[in-house]
């Protein structure tokens, strides 16, 4: 089932998600729906707050549905190591058509639980590193516009307000 992706400034996007404590079929159905929603939106990652659920989990698939081995489910994720710097353009499904360069760590190691509650660690570089940081920010209620310079953020917010006035947001 394809879920509705909420857009900024929906308040749920700015709230830190609640930890996931039950690893049941309901959670696994939601995870599967979130992958379907990500593919339909042609994204590489989606966090629970983006479908209106204030919980700490996210799905990532850099292959956009082409390679099942690349599907990642991160539940209660945290970054346990960061190194280096990247400065690349980033987008967000909750900010349609907005792309800006964001400073991120070049490499990260994350720790998370899978959909059965099992803890694991995983390293990410380049795009995967950025994706981990972007999605884990979402479960903390942090949005990429707040990682931009104040000047860029103002320009983006102005663009959004204009689109809202024109009924395009
Ligand atoms: Zn996002």
In this structure, are residues 38 and 73 in contact, taking their beta carbons and an 8 Å threshold?
A: no
State yes or no: is 115 an active-site residue: no
In the reported structure, the alpha carbon of residue 94 is separated from the centroid of ligand 1 by a whole-number distance in angstroms of 6
In the reported structure, the alpha carbon of residue 58 is separated from the centroid of ligand 1 by a whole-number distance in angstroms of 10
Give the pLDDT of residue 16: 98
What's the pLDDT tens digit per position in 110-146? 999 999 999 999 999 999 999 999 999 999 999 999 9
Give the pLDDT of residue 10: 97
In the reported structure, the alpha carbon of residue 133 is separated from the centroid of ligand 1 by a whole-number distance in angstroms of 10
**pLDDT-based confidence at 24, cuts 50/70/90?**
very high
Q: Looking up tokens 């907005």, which residue turns up?
A: 98
- Give the Å distances, CA to CA, from 55 to 104, 128, 160: 23, 21, 26
What's the pLDDT tens digit per position in 74-113? 999 999 999 999 999 999 999 999 999 999 999 999 999 9
Give the pLDDT of residue 140: 98
The one catalytic residue in 18, 100, 135, 166 is: 135
Report how far Cα 3 is from the mean position of its chain's Cα atoms: 15
Whether residue 66 is preceded by a cis peptide bond, meaning omega within 30 degrees of 0, is no
Tokens for 4?
A: 């509705």
Mean pLDDT of the chain: 97
Give the pLDDT of residue 33: 98
In the reported structure, the alpha carbon of residue 97 is separated from the centroid of ligand 1 by a whole-number distance in angstroms of 12
Give the pLDDT of residue 108: 98
Give the pLDDT of residue 107: 98
Strands 95-104 and 107-113, bridge-based pairing: unpaired
In the reported structure, the alpha carbon of residue 165 is separated from the centroid of ligand 1 by a whole-number distance in angstroms of 23
Burial class (CB in 10 A: 0-12, 13-18, 19+), 33: middle
Give the pLDDT of residue 89: 95
Give the pLDDT of residue 131: 98
Percent of the chain with pLDDT over 70: 100
**pLDDT-based confidence at 163, cuts 50/70/90?**
very high
Give the pLDDT of residue 106: 98
Give the pLDDT of residue 136: 98
Give the pLDDT of residue 147: 97
State how far the Cα of 111 lies from the Cα of 167, in Å rounded to an integer: 41
């Amino acid at each position: 089932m394809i879920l509705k992706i909420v857009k900024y400034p929906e308040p749920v996007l700015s709230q830190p998600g609640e930890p996931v404590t039950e690893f049941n079929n309901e959670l696994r159905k939601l995870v599967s729906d979130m992958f379907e929603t990500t593919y339909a939106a042609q994204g590489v990652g989606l966090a629970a707050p983006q479908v209106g659920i204030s919980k700490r989990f996210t799905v990532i698939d850099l292959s956009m549905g082409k390679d099942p081995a690349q599907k990642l489910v991160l539940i209660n994720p945290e970054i346990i190591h960061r190194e280096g710097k990247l400065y690349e353009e980033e987008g967000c499904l909750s900010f349609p058509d907005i792309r800006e360069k964001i400073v991120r760590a070049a490499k990260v190691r994350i720790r998370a639980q899978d959909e059965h509650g099992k803890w694991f660690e995983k390293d990410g570089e380049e795009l995967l590193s950025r994706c981990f940081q972007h999605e884990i920010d979402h479960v903390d209620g942090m949005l990429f516009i707040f990682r931009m310079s104040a000047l860029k953020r103002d320009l983006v917010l102005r663009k959004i307000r204009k689109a809202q006035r024109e009924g395009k947001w």
